Structure formats: structure tokens, C-alpha cells
Structure 1
Amino acid sequence: MFGIGGGELVLILVVVLMLFGSDKIPEIARTLGKGMAQLKNATNEIKHEIQKGASENGLDVNSLTGGITEEIESAKQSMNNALNPVEFQNPVEEIKEEFENLSGPIKRQM
């Protein structure tokens, strides 16, 4: 998550439990939850205001980010093609099918 391992998380929870006590932890968790919800709502409002201002000025924010998304997908596709060439996949599948056909009667006898 934030570079924190399981042991470190347990240690942090133990320290929090010792500092605040078991009766305060649910209240703290509720407060943190409400704060995170308010932060999420604020960021959504800011995004909405930016998009609204851009559309009023004649800019389409989706078209600006759409080109980047298409380029990323194109790069992913070319990397997949480079790492998994099609000409190697077909012979592997054929060999797998032949092996299954040969081992099929042996498996049924067991």
C-alpha cells in the first residue's frame, strides 16, 4: 500500500492501541472515514469545476486525455506482440493438443 509490510502494520496497530485505548479506536476510525469521504467529495467537485470551465471555454477535456489513453494502449499492444509472438503460440498449442491426445487414453485407464 504505502510500502508498509504486514509486520510493520501490526506494530503500528499495537502502538495506536496502547496510545488511545480500545474504546477510542472506533471513534478515530469513524472520524478518519468521514475525513476521507469529505476529501473524495472535494476532489470530485474540483474535477467537475475544471471540466465545466473547460467546456464553457470550448475545450473538450476528454479529447485531450483520449489521445494519451490510445497511445498507452497502442504501446501495451506492441509490447505484448513483441513478448508473445503469434508464430510461437500456434506450435505450442499444437504440441499441447497432441500431448493431450496421446495421454488421453492413458488417463482414462487409470
Structure 2
Amino acid sequence: MFIAMNRFKVKNGSEAEFERVWRERDSYLHTVPGFVAFNLLKGPQKEDYTLYASHTHWASKADFEGWTKSEAFRAAHKDAGTNKVNYIGPPEFEGFESVLSLDTTTKAA
């Protein structure tokens, strides 16, 4: 499993618009091989921004990389620079390969 995260520093006062953009856009993720799940996470509020993270689970790193090179990726990001959200800096990408995974279907050893 591969987890891809982008951290966003959203200027205070732009949170509702940021969440609206994510809620209303078509991500096309459901059409991409290897896509498992997506979460938009809201983190702590700082003095001048609120931290958010987009968090996607993929069957493999290769599936994630395929997504970034796909027509679906381009379509999902075509309006990225036109919204009214105020950011502090660009998104910060972090990618993680899973070395241990537990869930409700995992039996205790």
C-alpha cells in the first residue's frame, strides 16, 4: 500500500472556500486503477493559517505514479490555480510506503 499526502496551509478565513472546492470538484479517483480511499483532513489552526492534508491510499506506489501521469489527474487539477482560496506557500507532498498495516479485519497474532 502507498499513502500520498499533500499538506496545505490555508490562510485563516479561507477554510470554508477550501473545503467547498474539494467537496464540489470531481477528482476522477474512482476511475483510476489502484485507488483505495481518499480523506481530506483538517488539522490545527495556527496564528495565520489552518493546516489541511489530502490523504489518498493506493494499492501500490506504481498505481499512484500512474495516477499522476493520467488524463484523470490533469482533469482533476485543471482549475487548481483559479479558486479563491488563500494559501501560505505551495502544497507540501509526502509519500509513504506501508511497512505495517492493521485494520478491523486483521486478526491478532
More helix by share: 1
TM range (shorter): under 0.3
TM-score (norm 1): 0.22
Between Structure 1 and Structure 2, whose CA radius of gyration is higher?
1
The TM-score normalised by the length of structure 2 is: 0.22
Higher relative contact order (CA 8 A, sep 6+): 2
